[in-house]
Amino acid sequence: MKKFTFLLVFISYFSFGQDQIPAQNGAIQINPILHGSLVIEYQDLTIYVDPYGGAERFAGQKPADLVLITDIHGDHHNQETLDGLDLSKATIVAPAAVAEKLPKDKYAKVEVIGNGEQKSISEADIRAIPMYNLPETADSRHPKGRGNGYIVTLGGKQIYLSGDTEDIPEMRALKGIDVAFVCMNLPYTMDVNQAASAVSAFKPAIVYPYHFRGGDGLADVNHFKSLVNQSAPQVEVRLRNWYPEN
């Protein structure tokens, strides 16, 4: 029995599949895909976030109603992946810098949203917030205002998607976040210590480290979990398999 229980825990911990987040009128389902890509389902709504890695990775997923794109880089706006998906009924939600790169007249609707703006789309409340590198310089990989982090409210739950950001004041000031997806990959965003410090400041109920492949391979998310457990033990850290080939 002990071996069987261990096996179930091991499969659950490292599996490539759905997590359930209890919400009003049903659960929110979280499906890690790859790197910064995931699928969120709630009731009849399916949201793709930064589809990347090829359309085949989304096999078995419901067609998207919404596609959220955070930034112009190829692991966020990946046109090849978008072209392989059934987006015939989808609304694309993106910052202006991404929207201007999308093929003209290809999608049913493109909603342009910038930092500080909020829109209700397909019964989801979507707020765009800054994501950027520090210090702010002219040659920054991620200048403030170009890309979006998102806060998506579904079933009374607030889901934060960091996009490519560092430990910025706007993230530290977040309140009432139920589920957070936080990046940690040098030299593009922030390191594990910065990410843990930020999470310990805004204290989401649940945090998923994601987007953690950087110039030196995969970040040490187990160390991230240890740091958060020490400084903010009320935060549940969920480690999932975002890189199934590794």
Is 25 a domain residue?
A: yes
Burial class (CB in 10 A: 0-12, 13-18, 19+), 122: middle
- Measured in whole angstroms, the distance separating CA 132 from the mean position of its chain's CA atoms is 15
Is 51 a domain residue?
A: yes
**pTM across the whole model:** 0.92
Q: What does the pLDDT read at residue 49?
A: 98
Residue-wise pLDDT tens digits, 55-66: 999 999 999 999
Q: What tokens appear for 199 in the block?
A: 């999470």
Q: Which residues make Cβ contacts (< 8 Å) with residue 41, sequence separation at least 6?
A: 28, 29, 31, 47, 62
Is 242 a domain residue?
A: no
Is 169 a domain residue?
A: yes
Specify whether the CB–CB gap between 210 and 242 falls below 8 A: yes
Sheet of 124-129, strands arranged across: 118-121, 124-129, 149-154, 157-161, 179-182, 206-209, 236-237
Residue-wise pLDDT tens digits, 8-38: 334 333 444 579 999 999 999 999 999 999 9
Is 8 a domain residue?
A: no
Kindly report the average pLDDT of the chain as a whole number.
92
Q: What does the pLDDT read at residue 4?
A: 41
Q: Is 185 helix (H, G, I), strand (E, B) or coil?
A: coil
Q: What does the pLDDT read at residue 123?
A: 86
Q: What does the pLDDT read at residue 211?
A: 97
Q: What does the pLDDT read at residue 215?
A: 87
Indicate the number of domains in the chain: 1
Is 244 a domain residue?
A: no
Which CATH number characterizes residue 194's domain? 3.60.15.10
DSSP calls for 45-56: EEEEES--S-GG
Q: What does the pLDDT read at residue 241?
A: 94
Burial class (CB in 10 A: 0-12, 13-18, 19+), 42: buried
Q: What does the pLDDT read at residue 138?
A: 77
Is 152 a domain residue?
A: yes
Closest CA to 133 of 125, 124, 141, 145: 141
Q: What does the pLDDT read at residue 6?
A: 40
Specify whether the CB–CB gap between 58 and 67 falls below 8 A: no
Q: What does the pLDDT read at residue 17?
A: 53
Is 228 a domain residue?
A: yes
Q: What does the pLDDT read at residue 18?
A: 74
**Segments of the chain scoring below 50 in pLDDT:** 1-16
Domain membership of residue 125 as a residue range: 18-237
Q: Is 57 helix (H, G, I), strand (E, B) or coil?
A: helix
